[in-house]
Structure 1
Amino acid sequence: MIYEVENFPSREITIQNEKFLYFGGTAYLGLQTDKDFQEIFIDNIKKYGTNYGASRKANVQLAIYEKAENYLADFIGSEDCLTLSSGFLTGQMLVTYFHATNRQCFYAPATHEALHVLNTKNHESFDELVHDINHNLETTNKNPVLFLDSMLLNGKNYPDFEWLGKINLERITVAVDDSHGFGIVGKNGTGVYELLAKLNPRELFVCGSLGKGFGIQAGFIAGTKTSIENLRSTNMYAAASPAAPATMATLLASKKITDIKRKILLENIQHFISNISRIEQFKFLPNYPCFAFENEKLAAHLEKNKILVTNFNYPEEKDHLVLRIVLNANHTQNDIKRLTTLINNFS
């Protein structure tokens, strides 16, 4: 069932004058409703305005963008970084760039639509993907591009990316959407860039949203200086309006809050796991706040008891049902205790 709400869904939402605990969405650190974070954002809106529609190539340029991008590159561990107005747009920039150069492109299973253009499809299985890439490397002297998402709850990608070890990555450009990992996983929330860089791909790009882990409407692409400069020279970069400058300033000014929220989130994850009697009924990743399950009756049981979880068909109505419990940093231990008690008592 679809519910329309009037306020941002944080730990609680109100539906027809009734309060529900909410364990869904992607606001993992709960920054969007954090009062201190909001105050920083409001102050930056007063300084920079609500939007900045000029090209990043214009003759008048705001210094905050370069400051934010240098900060992100240093945080991620990449040589350089650029930002755009959304995570989806960063994926589209990468895929458009590589398809324009007629590179052979491969798509891992469950790769997000952000990394697709028309008529491109994901491989059905990782074994098939590895076979097809290796065959390509054996029969051509070209260097293909591999697109994938970082976070899959089946464990195929983060944290081990084991299947990548079966491919000669020295000839592969790897482009990864880390929207759901960046700000959450990795050392201090740095995501998967350094982890994948250790596998020594020919070239590495990591892109994604800053909305999930940092609470702002923007996207990023991390890579080498040469690679990022090539992207900055594209028409798409010149034509697209940038992220609002207030979001970039808020990113820089909110590090302390973000670090505190991340610590709380990790504590909530461990509290959930330690209080579930049968954790094997869920698919989940280390230190990650999403717990997938398959029993629709459990979702109905929770809803009957005033708890809503992620429960919808994705990406289209004809596609499979996504059932997930999603923790965020605004949940209290009592919230989680109530949730786990209901799950443990369900049969």
Structure 2
Amino acid sequence: MAFDFIDESLRARHRDGLWRKRHTLAPGTGPLIEIDARHYLNFSSNDYLGLGASQLVAQAWVDGLSEYGSGSGASPLVTGYTQAHQALESHLAKVLNRDRVLLFNSGFAANQAICQALFPHNKDTTNKLIVADKLIHASFVDGAQSCSANFKRFKHNDRQHLSQILTSNHLSIDTLIATESVFSMDGDQAPIIDLANIAHQHDAWLMVDDAHGFGILGKQGLGIVEQLELSQKQVQVLMATFGKAIGTAGAFVAGSEQLIDYLINFARHYIYSTSMPAAQAHATLASIKANQNPKRRDRLQTRIAQFKQLAAAAKIPLFPSDTAIQPVFIGNPQQAVALSDKLKNLGIWVSAIRYPTVPKGTDRLRVTLSAMHEEQDLIALVDALQIAISQT
């Protein structure tokens, strides 16, 4: 019978404690969410600064809708590229010290586009190489596996292993090294300067996925390249998203004039997709400009320090992270789900993260902190974690 594997795959997900399902949130903003008529403190949102819940960004959406309407109506190469899109791209290029910026509907699409455009199947595939951190996001892995390059992965943040791979593949002409700035499931950061130096030594390009750093890192929240003062020659391909700290949606790729022109002409995810709504681009620019004020970012750093101090005092086993992503190590999928459910019974929403999102045996509760949280919210979280862990 056709597609018999579907039923068996679903049964296996149940059997292995890896079943996933959605939860419908009621309307509302802020750190308190409502699901199935129950309220929870939310520690599973990537809206790290609360900009997605801010009145300023909401008003910018309204202004954009009034000016441009609800959709873009076409792909960017037809009639879907407006002054709002251009203004957002121009602003980002200026503040990031990049030649050009190109907008995408999602970080997933941007990562796919980078891989598939730079390593197309209709070109000579000899000596093409992508080397990515073992923990890089699934969107990049899928993109790398679907293009023409030889795809290898180096041990997480392991500079020596990366150098060994590059040395053993020294005949590769076009080489792309890829990493995240802040790793989405572990919360730690990549040694970007070292990776840039290694890339230079091997005549390779460095690509950084700054999805969880953009909006947070740097004096104006412009991400890893601002924080470390990295030039376009050091990070040739920069990708970041707006759906996390910036509080809207979509993504961008920043780089040289030649790179962006190339993507406009050869990135199928860009060419054949309807543009993000102009109102979205308008609201995103307003959010980025508002984030120049460090108040929200300073508040988030205070909450991170407070949570780590509380968790250490309670002997809760955290991953080594100084970012808003604070995973609690569990190591077993069924146990991670059970702990997540116990926290929900206590009014705390923390998602269990399991394989294949993370490597087997590293199942965890992924706590994400926000500038919207109060200190008493963190105390409630740590108290609930102590109770849930003690009952397991």
Q: TM-score, normalised by structure 1?
A: 0.85
Letter in 1 for 2:309: S
* Cα drift, residue 309 of structure 1: 0.8
* Cα drift, residue 284 of structure 1: 4.2
> Deviations for 1:268-310, whole angstroms, at most 9, x for unmatched residues?
2233233331577212433x21101213375455333211212
Structure 2 counterpart of 1:269: 304
Distance 1:119 1:58 in 2: 27
Distance 2:30 2:115 in 1: 33
8 Å Cα contact 1:13/1:20 also seen in 2: yes
Letter in 1 for 2:376: N
1:333 to 353, 372, 375: 375
8 Å Cα contact 1:310/1:326 also seen in 2: no
Distance 1:48 1:23 in 2: 34
Q: Which is worse superposed, 72-81 or 318-327?
A: 318-327
Unmatched 5+ stretches in structure 2: 1-19, 331-335
Matched positions, count: 343
Structure 1 counterpart of 2:69: 49
> Deviations for 1:56-114, whole angstroms, at most 9, x for unmatched residues?
22368522211110111223232221112111111111011121153322222112122
> Deviations for 1:14-54, whole angstroms, at most 9, x for unmatched residues?
23332211101322222333233212212211211111032
* Cα drift, residue 143 of structure 1: 3.4
2:205 pairs with 1:173? yes
Decide whether aligned partners of structure 1 residues 78 and 10 sit closer, same or farther in structure 2, where only a CA change above 3 A counts.
same
1:219 to 251, 261, 264: 251
* Cα drift, residue 249 of structure 1: 1.0
Distance 1:7 1:234 in 2: 41
- Within a 5 Å distance, the mapping from 1:1-347 to structure 2 comes to 2=21, 4-7=23-26, 10-58=30-78, 61-100=81-120, 101=123, 102=125, 103-115=128-140, 116-117=142-143, 118=145, 123=153, 125=155, 126=158, 127-137=160-170, 140=171, 142-152=173-183, 157-158=189-190, 162=194, 165=197, 168-169=200-201, 171-194=203-226, 195=228, 197=230, 201=234, 204-234=236-266, 236=268, 237-255=270-288, 257-258=290-291, 259=293, 260-276=295-311, 277=313, 281-286=317-322, 288-295=323-330, 296=336, 299=340, 301-315=342-356, 321-343=363-385, 347=390
Q: TM-score, normalised by structure 2?
A: 0.76
Decide whether aligned partners of structure 1 residues 28 and 169 sit closer, same or farther in structure 2, where only a CA change above 3 A counts.
farther
Decide whether aligned partners of structure 1 residues 39 and 163 sit closer, same or farther in structure 2, where only a CA change above 3 A counts.
closer
Aligned CA-pair RMSD: 3.1
Unmatched 5+ stretches in structure 1: none
* Cα drift, residue 193 of structure 1: 2.5
Give the % identical residues: 22
Structure 1 counterpart of 2:12: none
Decide whether aligned partners of structure 1 residues 92 and 166 sit closer, same or farther in structure 2, where only a CA change above 3 A counts.
closer
8 Å Cα contact 1:111/1:148 also seen in 2: yes
Letter in 2 for 1:268: R
Distance 1:60 1:90 in 2: 18
Letter in 1 for 2:218: G
